[in-house]
């Protein structure tokens, strides 16, 4: 193995302008008894690399949050989401804590949640264990179960409605079991 200090009789010096300076991450590998050490530069800003493997501080306080932005369409199943914010279109099955549908947002499918704030459209099976809030621009249709209901003047609610968002049903099932 050649060493940099014996190559051309010079010893390599560490420069702060060098992309291989000690500011980066150090990686070493071993092959057949020879050990090679290479310093790799940081490829990402410190804000990104420091959060790798852990959630940002804001997410730790509020839990996991998924935002479907305007002009975005999502189809499928959404799991392990504490808060879903819908600004685009979602066709899915979800079970989470909070759903917020913006004025131009639309959700079609099945949802079991603790708190729903609807400013846009919801169509499907909706079970709200605690509180369903429908704002003036909101429209909810389908099979709806809720614990508490708040409808702002102008908000629309239509379909098969049932009081009892799940806590009462779960308690009843536990008592009979």
Give Cα 33 to chain centroid, integer Å: 45
- Provide the residue count of the chain: 177
Exposed, middle or buried, 18 (CB in 10 Å: 0-12/13-18/19+)?
middle
Residues 95/99/103/108 CA torsion (nearest 10 deg)? 10
13-35 residue pLDDT tens: 544 444 444 444 444 444 444 44
Evaluate if pTM is beyond 0.75: no
78-133 residue pLDDT tens: 988 999 999 999 999 999 999 999 999 999 999 999 999 999 999 999 999 999 99
Tokens linked to 119:
């400013």
Which of 126, 82, 148 minimizes the C-alpha distance to 139? Answer: 126
Which of 87, 84, 166, 88 minimizes the C-alpha distance to 125? Answer: 166
């Amino acid at each position: 193995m050649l060493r940099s200090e014996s190559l051309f009789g010079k010893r390599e010096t560490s420069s702060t302008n060098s992309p291989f300076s000690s500011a980066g991450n150090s990686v070493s590998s071993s092959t057949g008894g020879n050990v090679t050490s290479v310093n790799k530069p940081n490829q990402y800003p410190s804000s990104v690399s420091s959060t790798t493997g852990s959630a940002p501080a804001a997410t730790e306080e509020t839990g996991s949050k998924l935002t479907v932005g305007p002009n975005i369409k999502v189809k499928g199943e959404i799991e392990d989401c504490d808060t879903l914010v819908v600004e685009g279109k979602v066709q899915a099955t979800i079970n989470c804590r909070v759903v917020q549908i913006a004025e131009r947002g639309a959700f079609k499918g099945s949802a079991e949640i603790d708190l729903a704030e609807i400013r846009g459209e919801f169509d499907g099976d909706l079970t709200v264990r605690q509180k369903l809030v429908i704002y003036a621009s909101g429209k909810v249709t389908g099979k709806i179960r809720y614990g508490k209901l708040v409808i702002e003047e102008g908000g629309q609610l239509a379909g098969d409605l049932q009081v009892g968002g799940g806590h009462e049903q779960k308690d009843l099932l536990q008592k009979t079991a």
